[in-house]
Chain A
């Protein structure tokens, strides 16, 4: 296997948080030992609920924040430290797209000028080239020329997100991190942007980290998917069968919680308990208080992410038990 374009190893990010205004401050591990790799031209989906650390992971991967432990390597070389000149140079090859395109755009500049901006900043070629490149980018995100002359507030949500995408692609990045890029859009518009991302990824051989709470969108766009819960990856595998045969109890519940038109194929699992709170992370496996199949060991030891089948890793004591039992049974037979 070739070396992944992006490899993330044991990332940890801790925030100091104060409980209330004058409470004692304590450390909250938003990201707690995340490891994965993304191959060139591949999209890795990162799903999880609020507090899972998925967005923080995205920022760490791009070096927008420095990790407290662990490392990110890009093309096999470690990412330069945040805000150094090497880091800024490498930024041209890595871009990020956020949920709110209006916030990412400058209200006072027409769209075309904003798409052109990165070309000016990184001093790409000459004037004529840049103008041609802007036109090409606008076409590639399916925005007509007249939209280039408009201002962000004159565009619809979908058009804005495509403008942001055009700007992100201006410097021909190898790697794109998308953080909930379609969550604020209506379903029909969401489909336009999802289709566009898929097409662009194929055409430009982009490598992507696609962060979303929406299982369906993540599956549609990704080749592999990582499921996060309270700062850890609990399951990682091929997008096509991860949601069909989830192994981790949390993934199972998440799949079950994604309502489907038409007949339900899986049993309905409703997790009890409150949403995960990173400031009050349970010991052992962080999921154990809500897990329908937790047992004694889950309360004391956090399970590691282990490969349980080709292209499938799970962090659960239970799958470990099952696969041990299965191997034992196999040995008997």
Chain B
């Protein structure tokens, strides 16, 4: 087991390195930060000084190795825009983002999982069809469209809620729902199909043939099995806690990590973009590790990997 997780951990590090490399290459290819930050009218000597200060004159491979070496030492660089450490810029935005994404995740779980189970148990019924139509609508409508529609209804037409900003908790309601509804739809579909698959298994029939009540069959025989595939998608959602709100934060002018990313990309503020990407990759990879661990907790067939060698 320890070896299994060591391998997973190594793989996780490689994933992060690849993400960082990718970001480095794409950002360096897409434009000159000096020109963008200083502006096209800046005198050439100012631009040259900027380049020298940020090491942009070095060959690209050297910049790459410097950058990697710095990361290894825990230095994530400074914002080219205001010179503050990139990590500080990012960290101060995280609470605002989590204030949206964590309630949204809870909303997804609270609606998606029971909705999916209910639909599966009443397969083919009106409720099942309603849930499925809702689910398809929920994840085909892009979040900026959904966000704008919610703003039109609840802010513009009804005037119940503010359309943007971060002053009170009421400002958070629309963005949270915008984020939550799409995810809940995905989760409902996923839970439904996992549940249907499990309910068709022979061991469900065995449980019924034993005289287990249908309620107990669902709760103690079907759910533990259906949880296994569902954990994957929930793990993915946990992985998007930091960066999953880019669009929604922009729509609702919410000052979170997503907004920071949009601004930093527009400015070619390399250190900040890379810092965010590193953080996003790390969250993703961590949630994947947690999912793996949960798998072996939920499924004894995976757990016995550790003892299989003894046979």
Residues of A within 8 A of B (CB): 19-24, 280
Tell me the number of A-to-B contacts counted with CB atoms below 8 Å.
22
User: How many chain B residues touch the partner (CB < 8 A)?
Assistant: 9
A-B contact pairs, 9 of them (CB 8 A): A19-B311, A20-B304, A20-B306, A21-B305, A21-B308, A22-B3, A22-B309, A23-B309, A23-B311
Instruction: Give residues 286-311 of B contacting A (CB, 8 Å).
Output: 304-309, 311
Beta-carbon contact of A21 and B4 below 8 Å: yes
Report the bound CA distance from A23 to B304 in whole Å.
11
Report the bound CA distance from A329 to B306 in whole Å.
58
Instruction: Give residues 250-309 of B contacting A (CB, 8 Å).
Output: 304-309
Nearest CB in chain A: distance from B11 CB, A: 14
The main secondary structure of chain A at its interface with chain B is loop
Report the bound CA distance from A68 to B311 in whole Å.
26
Report the bound CA distance from A21 to B4 in whole Å.
9
Beta-carbon contact of B311 and A24 below 8 Å: no
Q: Which residues of A contact B308 (CB under 8 A)?
A: 19-21, 23
Nearest CB in chain A: distance from B111 CB, A: 36
Q: Which residues of B contact A20 (CB under 8 A)?
A: 304-309, 311
Q: Which residues of A contact B311 (CB under 8 A)?
A: 19-20, 23, 280
Q: Which residues of B contact A19 (CB under 8 A)?
A: 308-309, 311
Determine the residue in chain B with the shortest Cβ distance to A21: B305
Nearest CB in chain B: distance from A34 CB, A: 26
Nearest CB in chain B: distance from A274 CB, A: 12
Report the bound CA distance from A209 to B201 in whole Å.
38
Determine the residue in chain B with the shortest Cβ distance to A279: B311
Determine the residue in chain A with the shortest Cβ distance to B306: A20
Q: Which residues of B contact A24 (CB under 8 A)?
A: 309
Q: Which residues of B contact A22 (CB under 8 A)?
A: 3-4, 305, 309
Nearest CB in chain B: distance from A93 CB, A: 43
Report the bound CA distance from A19 to B311 in whole Å.
7
Q: Which residues of A contact B304 (CB under 8 A)?
A: 20
Instruction: Give residues 1-16 of B contacting A (CB, 8 Å).
Output: 3-4
Question: Other CB < 8 Å A-B pairs besides A20-B308, A22-B309, 18 of them?
Answer: A19-B308, A19-B309, A19-B311, A20-B304, A20-B305, A20-B306, A20-B307, A20-B311, A21-B305, A21-B308, A22-B3, A22-B4, A22-B305, A23-B308, A23-B309, A23-B311, A24-B309, A280-B311
Nearest CB in chain A: distance from B109 CB, A: 31
Determine the residue in chain B with the shortest Cβ distance to A280: B311
Q: Which residues of B contact A21 (CB under 8 A)?
A: 4, 305, 308
Q: Which residues of A contact B305 (CB under 8 A)?
A: 20-22
Nearest CB in chain A: distance from B4 CB, A: 6
Determine the residue in chain B with the shortest Cβ distance to A24: B309
Give the 9 A-B CB pairs with smallest separation, nearest first.
A20-B308, A23-B309, A21-B305, A20-B305, A23-B308, A19-B308, A19-B309, A20-B309, A19-B311
Nearest CB in chain A: distance from B306 CB, A: 8
Report the bound CA distance from A280 to B311 in whole Å.
9
Q: Which residues of B contact A280 (CB under 8 A)?
A: 311
Determine the residue in chain A with the shortest Cβ distance to B3: A22
Q: Which residues of A contact B307 (CB under 8 A)?
A: 20
Report the bound CA distance from A21 to B8 in whole Å.
13
Q: Which residues of B contact A23 (CB under 8 A)?
A: 308-309, 311
Report the bound CA distance from A191 to B307 in whole Å.
46
Nearest CB in chain B: distance from A22 CB, A: 6
Q: Which residues of A contact B309 (CB under 8 A)?
A: 19-20, 22-24
Report the bound CA distance from A239 to B113 in whole Å.
61
Q: Which residues of A contact B3 (CB under 8 A)?
A: 22
Report the bound CA distance from A112 to B32 in whole Å.
66
Report the bound CA distance from A186 to B170 in whole Å.
68
Report the bound CA distance from A20 to B304 in whole Å.
8
Report the bound CA distance from A31 to B21 in whole Å.
50
Report the bound CA distance from A244 to B42 in whole Å.
102
Nearest CB in chain B: distance from A142 CB, A: 37
Q: Which residues of A contact B4 (CB under 8 A)?
A: 21-22
Report the bound CA distance from A282 to B311 in whole Å.
14
